[in-house]
Amino acid sequence: MANIPSPGATSSSATVSAPAAKAVHVPVLLREVIQHLQLSPGLRVVDGTLGAGGHSREIFKKIGDTGELLGFDRDPMMLAHATKAVSGSNVVLHHGSYVELGDLLERRAIETGSSRQVDRILLDLGYSSDQLADRTRGFSFQEDGPLDLRFSTGEGLSAADCLAQADEAAIIHALQTYGEEPNALRLGPVLAQAARAGKLRTTSDLVHTVESSIPAAQLRSAEKHPATRVFQALRIQVNAELEHVERMLGEIAPAALAPSGLLAVITFHSLEDRLAKLAFKQTDIWEELTPKPIAPTPAEVRFNPRSRSAKLRVARRR
């Protein structure tokens, strides 16, 4: 939405207190990621999206004591979960976006004399089941809670504040661009008016407003809940998610990966996947190793339904 500041991209070190509950997130395409990253002892690996640390735990086993794991998460809660999954003198977990990778490598090069490059990077985009399950974060339209949707509640504006400050055109643009929402023209003015009147403060407020704006016949025949795309659009907007993905794939990863280094990206919707597909078409930078993205097996989808829309793409830095 226009004039909404995007969350800061500078480094910050979080106070990471251990989370009370055990993490529930199940890593997606774990076997495939480990296989395609071609891991071996001594490699320096970046997990740009630590989450609950499920991928990192397996990566760490493969690179061993002689390797190094650098991890990022924008959400202090997830960083705390990851800290329980992986730790050691050769593990550096950082509160912040993966777009800070270049800065972190630079700092470590000055402080420890280490290289400014890494051998592998993993990005498992989007949000985790733990964030979805925490009703205080507003990620789920099935739970009542504050309409926040930020990965880091200390950064930028919540979705409720974002909506309250935006005009109709900005809301329509966000719904169309980040949600591919067919009812954007109908929903934009309704959401703008409700938000300005202070009636869009919670997830339930938003769900009810969306439901009451969609014709009943459309509601009955919809495959997905009509709020699904609206929540996706707001989450992408308030976290400037696609900007981070674009910067990472276009600038940061190419600069940070050593020649022949590998980048693996797991996406969960077409907007992210399009960015990965486009980036890997830059054949002077990347050799794509997965011309067709890898999808989860039917068995994985049965065991972990959240994996159903996942796609894994892997490329080698030239």
Contact between 98 and 123 (Cβ < 8 Å): yes
Q: Structure tokens of 208?
A: 């009810």
User: Within the chain, what is the greatest distance between any pair of CA atoms?
Assistant: 64
Q: Provide the minimum distance between the beta carbon of 128 and ligand SAM in the complex, in angstroms, as a whole number.
A: 4
Contact between 127 and ligand SAM (CB under 6 A)? yes
* Residue 19-48 contact track with ligand SAM, rule CB under 6 A, x = bound: ------x-x--------------------x
Instruction: Report 245-264 residues binding ligand SAM (CB under 6 A).
Output: none
DSSP code at position 6: P
Site for ligand SAM (CB under 6 A): how many residues?
22
Q: Which amino acid is at 92?
A: V
Q: Give the footprint of ligand SAM on residues 223-242 (CB under 6 A).
A: none
Q: Bridge-partner residues for 44, per DSSP?
A: 68
**254-270 CB burial, b ≥16 within 10 A, e <16:** bebbeeebbbbbbbbbe
Considering only residues 51 through 70, tell me which ones interact with ligand SAM, judged by CB under 6 A.
51-55
Considering only the stretches 72-80, 182-190, 203-211, 281-289, report the one whose residues sit in contact with ligand SAM under the rule CB under 6 A: 72-80
Which member of 60, 98, 139, 178 binds ligand SAM (CB under 6 A)? Answer: 98
Residue 72 makes contact with ligand SAM by CB under 6 A: yes
Token pair in block for residue 42:
């001594």
CB of 100 to ligand SAM, least distance (A): 8
Question: Crossing angle, helix 203-213 and helix 228-238, to 10 degrees?
Answer: 130
Contact (CB, 8 A) for 85 and 56: yes
CA distance 51 to 74: 9
> Under the rule (CB under 6 A), what is the footprint of ligand SAM?
25, 27, 48-49, 51-55, 72-75, 78, 97-98, 124, 126-128, 151, 244
